[in-house]
Structure 1
Amino acid sequence: MEENIASLASAIGGRVKQERQARHWTLDQLAEAAGVSRRMLINVEQATMNPSVGTLLRISAALGVGLPDLVQSPEPKGVKVTRKGEGALLWSSAAGGRGVLVAGTEPPEVMELWDWTLGPGDQHASEPHTPGTKELLQVLQGTVTVVAAEQTVVLETGDSLSFPGDVAHSYGNNGPDAARFSLAVFERGVGSAHREANNA
């Protein structure tokens, strides 16, 4: 598993550097656009750390690419299969929680499909995504508490929820057993602001 994490960190670092250099941006320019420190970007590009999902989202938004583009190898268009165990593990916890990005589409209409497990007591807070982002969640096992748009909703196995992803939100497991849910995230127009600026 540590080899997979190191391999993913290396792939992410390479993609961030490739996308940054393709835009002829310095580390400082990307850091400012993404709202992260220069040191953080150096650590990401050199794969010396495993960045948080929030950091990756800020970097991908600044570059005008979807999160799946940063964590998946570029492949020819068409059918892409992600076999069991091959998704990008982007969050984990001491209680056994895991956030795995299992599939995604390319900009400008980016759709992400996640497989989440929350161990007992796990909480995962997410910063607001780009304006207009929508999220869909279905609980596959256990009980999940979602806080979004100042509402708290407790979901049981089989329950579903749709909510805006462009507000601060969180997922939690207050129960004694592991909880698992599938999450789809839709971001419209990823990279369109960068394309418009380049065309101006």
Structure 2
Amino acid sequence: MSDLDLLTQSLARNVKHWRAVRGFTLDVLAARAGVSRGMLIQIEQARTNPSIGTVVKIGDALGISITTLLDYGQGPNVRIVPAEQAVRLWHTDGGSYNRLLAGTEAPGPLEMWDWRLMPGEGSPSDPHPAGTVELLHVTAGELTLTVDGVEYRVPAGSSVSFEADAPHAYGNQGEAPMEMVMAVSVPPVP
């Protein structure tokens, strides 16, 4: 079975599980996530490989991290994730990517990501639930962070934090690859 098949099956199993834990019907989860009921059915039946944006919306609506949706979150107090097990959820032909390095529920979802954006590339993000905070540390190049339409330049060695409940985007307007580590903290579902 391919890695993609395993990922699709884990996502199907975990969306069903957490929807039941939260007591959400398909219609309730669809409305909370802004995803069609049909898409949720396809996900729960492991018949589709949804976009990272769709997975983020579902995780946010369920109040859990992407790592939990992909089988990472539960286990012993110490969990080592080998480099080859980091999940690449987005990439471009130009060489940009993000990788989910680790995550937990503490008390809401907490995720750590590794990002690389090649020159001229970027990645937009829909607003996350109110109270979501992102922390970024740029290790190479320069990040152009846009939050609610305002651009911020974050050079290598600098860090930034922001409330991520507004539209935001990560971009590389420089001439060298931009690399950063990102932590995302989402509040628990009430």
Please state which band the TM-score falls in when normalised by the shorter chain.
0.7 to 0.9
Report matched runs for 1:45-124 at 5 Å.
45-73=44-72, 75-124=74-123
- Give, as a single letter, the amino acid of the residue that structure 2 aligns with 1:84: A
The answer to whether the aligner puts 1:13 opposite 2:15 as a matched pair is no
User: Which runs of no fewer than 5 residues in structure 1 stay unpaired?
Assistant: 194-200
Q: In the aligned structure 2, how far is the partner of 1:36 from the partner of 1:4?
A: 24
Shift in Å, 1:74: 5.2
Task: Please give the TM-score of this superposition, normalised by the length of structure 1.
Answer: 0.84
Cα distance change, pair 75–100 in 1 and its aligned pair in 2 (3 A): same
Residue 185 of structure 1 corresponds to 184
Cα RMSD of the aligned pairs, angstroms, is: 2.1
Cα distance change, pair 3–176 in 1 and its aligned pair in 2 (3 A): farther
- Give, as a single letter, the amino acid of the residue that structure 2 aligns with 1:71: L
User: Which runs of no fewer than 5 residues in structure 2 stay unpaired?
Assistant: none
Residue 159 of structure 1 corresponds to 158
Shift in Å, 1:48: 3.2
Shift in Å, 1:40: 1.3
Aligned length: 190
Residue 197 of structure 1 corresponds to none
Q: What CA deviation, in whole Å up to 9, does each residue of 1:32-87 have, x standing for no partner?
A: 23221012112322333332333222212322323321123453240011111211
Residue 128 of structure 2 corresponds to 129
Q: In the aligned structure 1, how far is the partner of 2:153 from the partner of 2:184?
A: 19
Q: What CA deviation, in whole Å up to 9, does each residue of 1:122-167 have, x standing for no partner?
A: 2111111111111111111222210014421122221211111111
Percent of aligned pairs with the same amino acid: 37
Q: In the aligned structure 2, how far is the partner of 1:187 from the partner of 1:19?
A: 16
Task: Please give the TM-score of this superposition, normalised by the length of structure 2.
Answer: 0.88
Residue 3 of structure 1 corresponds to 2
- Give, as a single letter, the amino acid of the residue that structure 2 aligns with 1:138: H
Q: In the aligned structure 2, how far is the partner of 1:8 from the partner of 1:107?
A: 23
Residue 32 of structure 2 corresponds to 33
